[in-house]
Homo-oligomer: A and B are copies of this chain.
Amino acid sequence: MACRTPIGQLCKRASQPSTLNFTSKPTAALWRRGSICQSRSFATPVPPVTQNATSSKGPTAMVFMNMGGPSTTDEVGDFLSRLFSDADLIPLGRLQGYLGPLLSKRRTPKITQQYAAIGGGSPIRKWSEYQATEMCKILDEISPETAPHKPYVAFRYANPLTEEMYNKLLEDGFGRGKGGRAVAFTQYPQYSCSTTGSSLNDLWKWRQRLEGKSVDTKSDNDGTINWSVIDRWPVHPGLVEAIAQNIEAKLLEYPEDVRNEVVLLFSAHSLPMSVVNRGDPYPAEVAATVQAVMQRLGHSHAYRLVWQSQVGPSAWLGAQTSDTVTNYIKKGQHNMILIPVAFTSDHIETLYELDEEVIGESGHKDTIKRTESLNGHPVFIRALADIAKAHLDSGMACSKQMGLRCPGCKSERCAESKKFFAGQQLAI
């Protein structure tokens, strides 16, 4: 607490325009501890973004896409209903319309209890809005030419839904004959067709419904919103640095004599093997994040990448997080840190599944710990701004990689959605 003022000043300095080169050309070293303000406290209420006189391309809408979660227990039913009806996430084939509602109804009471246990709802909306707002403040300073940057959140299964966000965009003066620039910024660092892909397909659907059918020969003067996509950022040095700092902080909670022997377990949401075998890029990109974090830590500890949240009888990618913890305990290893590596905010998979179930039921609650989620970590927020700035500077509609469908993909929706976003290249 004593250092709050100096840290505040550092923050201010760090976000002044003079840091432009720093953020547009990141290197791992620049993201190291000490080079960036590390305050975790919430900022004071955010003043509205105002037009910057130097801006030549703004305003720019920055749309944070994520799965979302019910903010109250009353919303759990609707949340699960949307989730189980999403064929990109849970492919149930022709039975989707029948099985989806059945499964969601069956699971609602149990999941409602879990949300009740973590405080009555998911904090993901709070964090997403905070992250988007804080990032836009930094972006206004480091990218004045595209300012003002206006934060939006679009969730796939909870409010604010994509439809709500899109209508807000239109009300705010984007589209409807005025064009304007919007960036769909996935908040999943690693790309999966089940997550980012599903959000993009949903965004594409609402784009068609609310702005009319797109044509291949899109140009920037048809008055619709000009979209580009930040589709993945698994090894951005700021992301890596923020995760590494959280691990280092957690390691300090162990006595010195065992600290070096703590096992690091990076935990990511698993995928059904049907999705993995279709060629989904997610497992490889999560692995890349893990490797980058371990490199940053100088490979100081032994580690494994493990996978959580499997449901149902089909085969999922392992090793499972919960089994891994159980097995290592059996082998005599009681010092472990769980590291959420594929979500950037707290959510039920950290607060309930890891904290209450995996750790809570391990019998070793004092020596099995979890790193903080990224949430409001200032290094992470700055990383988001840096990723966005690099994207805006690049002039790319989306990555080359996003244009390539999975080898086993049979979804025409996916093909059309990818074509639409890649086609925006002509407009931005």
Interface residues in chain A, defined as those with a beta carbon under 8 Å from any beta carbon in chain B: 234-235, 263, 273, 276-279, 281, 283-288, 290-291, 295, 299-306, 315, 317-320, 323-324, 327-328, 331, 399-401, 403-408
Contact status of A283 and B287, CB under 8 A, knowing A407-B304, A407-B327:
yes
Q: Roughly how many angstroms separate A405 CA and B331 CA in the complex, as a whole number?
A: 9
Contact status of A327 and B399, CB under 8 A, knowing A273-B273, A283-B283, A284-B305:
no
Q: Are B407 and A302 in contact (CB under 8 A)?
A: no
Q: Are B263 and A404 in contact (CB under 8 A)?
A: yes
CB-based nearest B residue for A316: B277
Contact status of A324 and B399, CB under 8 A, knowing A287-B285, A405-B331:
no
Q: A323's contact among B234, B300, B407, by CB below 8 Å, is which?
A: B407
What are some 7 contacts across the A-B interface (CB < 8 A)? Answer: A277-B318, A277-B320, A284-B290, A285-B287, A302-B401, A304-B404, A319-B408
A275 CB to nearest B CB, Å: 10
CB-based nearest B residue for A333: B404
Q: Are B315 and A400 in contact (CB under 8 A)?
A: no
A324 CB to nearest B CB, Å: 4
Q: Are B278 and A319 in contact (CB under 8 A)?
A: yes
Q: Which chain B positions have C-beta within 8 A of A315?
A: 273, 315
Q: Which chain B positions have C-beta within 8 A of A324?
A: 279, 407-408
Q: A235's contact among B276, B291, B400, by CB below 8 Å, is which?
A: B291
CB-based nearest B residue for A307: B277
Q: Which chain B positions have C-beta within 8 A of A278?
A: 319
A332 CB to nearest B CB, Å: 11
Q: Roughly how many angstroms separate A370 CA and B100 CA in the complex, as a whole number?
A: 44
Q: Roughly how many angstroms separate A151 CA and B252 CA in the complex, as a whole number?
A: 43
Q: Are B287 and A284 in contact (CB under 8 A)?
A: yes
CB-based nearest B residue for A396: B299
Q: Are A407 and B319 in contact (CB under 8 A)?
A: yes
Q: Which chain B positions have C-beta within 8 A of A277?
A: 317-320
Q: Are A399 and B323 in contact (CB under 8 A)?
A: no
Q: A406's contact among B295, B319, B404, B408, by CB below 8 Å, is which?
A: B319
Q: Which chain B positions have C-beta within 8 A of A318?
A: 273, 276-277, 279
Q: Roughly how many angstroms separate A317 CA and B279 CA in the complex, as a whole number?
A: 10
Q: Which chain B positions have C-beta within 8 A of A408?
A: 319, 323-324, 327
Q: Which chain B positions have C-beta within 8 A of A317?
A: 276-277
Q: Which chain B positions have C-beta within 8 A of A263?
A: 404
Q: Which chain B positions have C-beta within 8 A of A406?
A: 304, 319
A40 CB to nearest B CB, Å: 29
Q: A399's contact among B288, B299, B320, by CB below 8 Å, is which?
A: B299
* Interface-central residue, A278, A281, A323, A404, by most chain B CB under 10 Å: A404
Q: Roughly how many angstroms separate A263 CA and B279 CA in the complex, as a whole number?
A: 14
Q: Which chain B positions have C-beta within 8 A of A284?
A: 286-287, 290-291, 305
A243 CB to nearest B CB, Å: 15
Q: Which chain B positions have C-beta within 8 A of A323?
A: 407-408
Q: Roughly how many angstroms separate A257 CA and B358 CA in the complex, as a whole number?
A: 53
Q: Are B287 and A400 in contact (CB under 8 A)?
A: no
CB-based nearest B residue for A291: B288
Q: A287's contact among B288, B299, B404, by CB below 8 Å, is which?
A: B288
Q: Which chain B positions have C-beta within 8 A of A320?
A: 277
Contact status of A235 and B303, CB under 8 A, knowing A285-B287, A319-B407:
no
Q: Roughly how many angstroms separate A212 CA and B337 CA in the complex, as a whole number?
A: 39
Q: Roughly how many angstroms separate A69 CA and B363 CA in the complex, as a whole number?
A: 48
Q: Which chain B positions have C-beta within 8 A of A300?
A: 400
A413 CB to nearest B CB, Å: 15
Q: Which chain B positions have C-beta within 8 A of A327?
A: 407-408
Q: Are B299 and A279 in contact (CB under 8 A)?
A: no
Contact status of A306 and B285, CB under 8 A, knowing A299-B401, A328-B407:
no
CB-based nearest B residue for A399: B299
Q: Roughly how many angstroms separate A290 CA and B285 CA in the complex, as a whole number?
A: 9
A134 CB to nearest B CB, Å: 27
Q: Roughly how many angstroms separate A319 CA and B278 CA in the complex, as a whole number?
A: 6
